[in-house]
Structure 1
């Protein structure tokens, strides 16, 4: 038994030294932003409809995407056609909107909420108290009891009411999640 060597791993294979192949350097793509030494693991298109990609770190990807306009260079009809096309292609993901990760923009407001805020003439970051105040003010102006024979006022009241309902249900969802 003179030639037998005793193992130092006590039966645990990861306690012994790693092979030389496991010690090789791993190639990491760096961020494409000048003078950034972070790993570039977030691909971003160089221009609309271009297969070429930049590879940024998370910080620079967020900075790059902040000013991104997906519809750049398209007229109103082309923009509507592309929106309709992508909505039909992604209809299977519509269910995920319930969970709050299929919203537009920065993720705080959906497109419907943004349109409702436009109807109430409010900014995108308006609090719900401001929504309620704007709704009440507009409703007092165009309510059918105030303008009984005005069809345009009745239509406007319906728009304002629907906008408020959309924003109210979104606020309730956020409170329920929070």
Structure 2
């Protein structure tokens, strides 16, 4: 092969020189990266990765520590430091009842305009409010007694009551008494073997079963 086309490497050795011992000693292994903050523990140059409250009265203000110093701070943290036994017991009761949060009464003052308006309406039974059962001061005499709620019956229940010759307001005892009366009247054993009422007897039995299924008996 002609010498003009032979490969001649431009660099004889392209290996990277390893750092010397002096370079390693000069390098700061705890140097902070952009966006990191230093640990708040005195003399620590590590990056802060955990936060801890400054005190029980400053729970929204925090120290920033590296992980080892955060663990040390948590081990020595005492929320009730400086409190007496009675204060500690009272704080624990508040924590159980309200979660340690402040509470307020959800009502207007006795002398407020809203309270006076409510008392006026309450006394006259206005605003659609009636104390029929005299639970709040005997207001039943100022209004009409509540009307009984109408029974809601389906077609099957209405037909069953009609087969028993009962109206729609019949209750359980009336239904049972009427059923017993019709069975005694229509059953062949009580009519000297007369089977002329068997068809009506079957309708009565089906009607009674339908009413039992509907929970009316």
- TM-score of the alignment, normalized to the shorter chain, above 0.5: no
User: Whose relative contact order is higher, 1 or 2, with alpha carbons under 8 Å and at least 6 apart?
Assistant: 1
The structure that is helix-richer by fraction is 1
TM-score (norm 2): 0.30
User: Which structure has the bigger radius of gyration?
Assistant: 2
TM-score (norm 1): 0.34
